[in-house]
Amino acid sequence: MVARSDLATDRRLQEELLQARRGTAFFARKLSELTDDELDGGSLLPGWTRRHVVAHVGYNARAIARLVEWAATGVETPMYPSTEVRDHEINFGATLSPIALRNLFDHSAVHLSVEWRDLPDRDWANEVKTVQGRTVPASETVWMRTREVWIHAVDLGNGATFGDIPAPVLERLLRDITGAWKTRGTDAGLLIKVTGTEVAGTDLTFGDTSATDPTIITGPLPAVVEWATGRGTTGVTAARGTEGLTNVPAAPKWI
């Protein structure tokens, strides 16, 4: 019998699934606001049109669905055979007709949602492997998709901003990004302070907290995440010690 609601009963996982689906709905809304001709326009990602962004988000849903199927069946089904195949798929998808491109997004999103819906509690801890080679539990696929749909809705470049992304998603993104920098050692001498989210009078602080003379990036959460993802510097300031810097340095590479 096919489930009519999520089989997962963990409350935290249910909340994360809701956030992923809200992000998918938000991307769908921004996509629907674009005319077919506007799909040919440039996105916020260098070298990619809006067509590339939509194709990527569509094929990403299919790839993540393969991981969920892997967790359900135990049969290894990688996201992609290689990054080259993934890139070729995106470039091909960008050539589809507007209606086919929109259908790719719609159908792949429904497919992924159904795969999540039908995964029982016992299988969410089963391990799968991302395209980067990380071994993660199936539950991680929800976050993988969440960050894709929210960020790439902004990348469509038709009005969405990082301010539209829920604060919990932004904070988790920033923790992921700064954690990746720390692992690679690329955050040396870089301190990030988020204003406007004080807890007991203390701002959120990330990066090289032990640096004696760090470059300090400061701003509200949406602006800091926009900078950290390489999408812009609006709303953030940079300083070294007590001296403000004219130019905000580019963020280290994230992925």
Residue 208 scores a pLDDT above 50: yes
Domain(s) labelled CATH 1.20.120.450 in the chain stretch across 11-160
Q: Tell me, what DSSP letter sits at residue 4?
A: S
Cα end-to-end span (Å), the chain: 40
Could you tell me if 39 and 49 are in contact, meaning their C-beta atoms sit under 8 angstroms apart?
Answer: yes
Residue 198 scores a pLDDT above 60: no
| pLDDT digit string, tens, across residues 77-109 | 999 998 899 999 999 999 999 999 999 999 999
- Percent with pLDDT over 90 in the chain: 82
Residue 243 scores a pLDDT above 90: no
Per-residue model confidence (pLDDT) at position 2: 55
The average confidence (pLDDT) of the chain is 93
Could you tell me if 163 and 176 are in contact, meaning their C-beta atoms sit under 8 angstroms apart?
Answer: no
Q: Where are the beta strands (DSSP E) in 15-134?
A: 127-129
| pLDDT digit string, tens, across residues 21-71 | 999 999 999 999 999 999 999 999 999 999 999 999 999 999 999 999 999
Quote the pTM value: 0.93
Q: Which long-range contacts (CB under 8 A, 24 or more apart) does 88-96 make?
A: 89/55, 89/59, 90/52, 90/55, 90/56, 90/59, 91/52, 91/55, 92/55, 93/51, 93/52, 93/54, 93/55, 93/56, 93/58, 93/59, 94/49, 94/51, 94/52, 94/55, 95/51, 96/51, 96/55
CATH number of 167-244: 3.30.1050.20
What is the distance between the alpha carbons of residues 5 and 14, in angstroms, rounded to a whole number?
11
Query: Model confidence at 202, in pLDDT bands (50, 70, 90)?
Result: low
Is 39 exposed, middle or buried (CB count within 10 Å of its CB: 0-12, 13-18, 19+)? buried
Q: Which CATH class is domain 11-160?
A: mainly alpha
| pLDDT digit string, tens, across residues 107-143 | 999 999 999 999 999 999 999 999 888 999 999 999 9
Position with higher pLDDT, 254 vs 95: 95
Domain(s) labelled CATH 3.30.1050.20 in the chain stretch across 167-244
DSSP-derived pairing of the beta strands 190-199 and 243-244? unpaired
Query: Model confidence at 197, in pLDDT bands (50, 70, 90)?
Result: low
